[in-house]
Amino acid sequence: MTSNWFVNMAYFVVAVVFILGLKAMASPVSARRGIVWAGFAMVGATVVTFFTPGLHNVGLMVLAIVLGGGVAWYSGKIVKMTDMPQMVAIYNGMGGGAAAGIAAIELVRGVPHDGVTSTLLALGAIIGAVAFSGSCVAFAKLQGLMTKAIRLRAQNNVNFFLTLATFGVGLTVAYADAPGGFEIFLFFALALALGVVLVMPIGGADMPVVISLLNAFTGLAVGFKGFVIGNPALIVAGIVVGASGMLLTQLMAKAMNRPIRNIIFTPLTGAAAEGGEAVEGTMRELSAMDAAALMRYGQKVIIVPGYGMAVAGAQHKVWEMAQLLEEGGVEVSFAIHPVAGRMPGHMNVLLAEAGVPYDKIFDLEEINADFAQADVALVIGANDVVNPVARTDKSSPIYGMPILNADLAQNVIVVKRGKGAGYSGIENALFYKDNCRMLYGSAQEAIGQVIQHVKALEV
């Protein structure tokens, strides 16, 4: 009795520390502290588990922790910042896979549960398996292993009937007194297939929302498994992560002005180019020297980073250029759209890694009114988040989506690798406006050339 009381109190303490850590992550100033607190809480919960009465297979648990921790530590050390979205995706998947694995063990054991526990067992297994396979598909897309979205014929019908079959088999297996091996295998095969089929059609434009949603799925699955096996730490951590993930998903979907159901069942892919009015005009190119002169002799420059900056790994060059401009008396700030990049907070992470101070990074609501007073808006690899058709063209798939008002700046410079329409397939009307000029090339090379010309102008 005393031992159980100690374990439960210890779980309560680490749960509180974990929640405080998550709260601290809400502010850039305290985010590092929050990560440390949450990390210590997770380590503490793992240690407390070893004091659980009647614990078996301690050696296997230690081996799993050492192997898993070692792989995570090594991969975290060597991963490039440009590869962070796919790393987040696969880590999300591992959590969901672990929850599904716990469910599989419970089903194989055949221990009878009450109705509520059996239902949570089935739900946790389905959500965990979907999060695992869906995250693997997201990883493959972000890593370039899957180069295009794959949409099946009658995709939504396939989604519906596969979901129906998965839940039907899952609940049947969970409520059975002694489910057979084939039934359990069929259940997980259907759940894994569901995750693949749901995520396959989704393109890069929707990937930040998908990663956030899969993260929420993983949290919910872990929370449900905690209830099934009676582990308070898993219940608290899973439900907190699931709830915060769902809230983040809702906020990001709102930032795109698209319901979550549309993102899953009507994803933005290359086919989106078929919608919307035709864009007229021509793209006008400028040289790196002209770009450097426009910014160096301006008073206010707003930089809009996007996925192109991430792919090129140009964040350090961009910050070096910004510092040179500031030394010349130019006011420089960074504008971040909530869904820029391929994961939540992608641009914030890259700019922080480059050393950009937090007080120079602004969200859409904070900076949108400033574009009209800016001499130059420098767009680096961003596309849909600065497309003015979201304000003007009711037939466009992105109409109503809040965008950064880069087109209202006196001059707009767009750094872009080519003349393609971007991941969503929607042509960007900004590129054809009279005040916009294109600087073609990799962001790393293009900004490097601009830096050289800015330095020359100082001489």
Supply 216's token pair: 């929420």
Specify the DSSP element, H or E, that contains 350.
helix 346-354
pLDDT at position 273: 46
Looking at residue 50, what DSSP letter applies?
Answer: T
Low-confidence ranges of the chain (pLDDT < 50): 1, 270-273
Check if the beta carbon of residue 120 is closer than 8 Å to that of residue 228: yes
DSSP 3-state of 156: helix
Check if the beta carbon of residue 235 is closer than 8 Å to that of residue 196: no
Distance CA 230, CA 53 (A): 13
Distance CA 313, CA 4 (A): 51
Check if the beta carbon of residue 371 is closer than 8 Å to that of residue 405: yes
CA distances from 67 to 60, 74, 425 (A): 10, 11, 42
110 sits in the region (left: phi over 0; alpha: psi -120 to 50; else beta) called left
Supply 100's token pair: 């599904």
Check if the beta carbon of residue 135 is closer than 8 Å to that of residue 96: yes
pLDDT at position 338: 83
* Whether residue 434 lies in the annotated active site: no
What does the pLDDT look like over 237-292, one tens digit per residue?
A: 888 888 888 888 887 777 777 777 777 766 655 444 455 566 667 888 899 999 99
pLDDT at position 268: 55
Amino acid identity, residue 314?
Answer: A
pLDDT at position 425: 64
The residues, any chain, with a CB within 8 Å of residue 261's CB and separated by 6 or more, are none
Question: Of the residues 370, 384, 393, 407, which is catalytic?
Answer: 384
What does the pLDDT look like over 334-349, one tens digit per residue?
A: 999 888 777 777 888 8
User: b/e map of 4-43 (b: 16 or more CB within 10 Å)?
Assistant: eeebeebbeebbebbbebbebbeeeeebeebeebbeebbe
Distance CA 437, CA 287 (A): 9
The residue among 388, 321, 393, 396 whose CA lies nearest residue 351 is 321
Specify the DSSP element, H or E, that contains 363.
strand 361-363
Distance CA 163, CA 262 (A): 17
pLDDT at position 59: 87
- Looking up tokens 């700030």, which residue turns up? 333
CA distances from 205 to 92, 244, 251, 436, 444 (A): 19, 22, 16, 23, 22
pLDDT at position 204: 65
Check if the beta carbon of residue 260 is closer than 8 Å to that of residue 253: yes
Distance CA 413, CA 380 (A): 8
Annotation: CATH topology of 288-457: Rossmann fold (3.40.50)
The residue among 255, 404, 278, 62 whose CA lies nearest residue 263 is 255
- Looking up tokens 């922080």, which residue turns up? 352
pTM of the model: 0.77
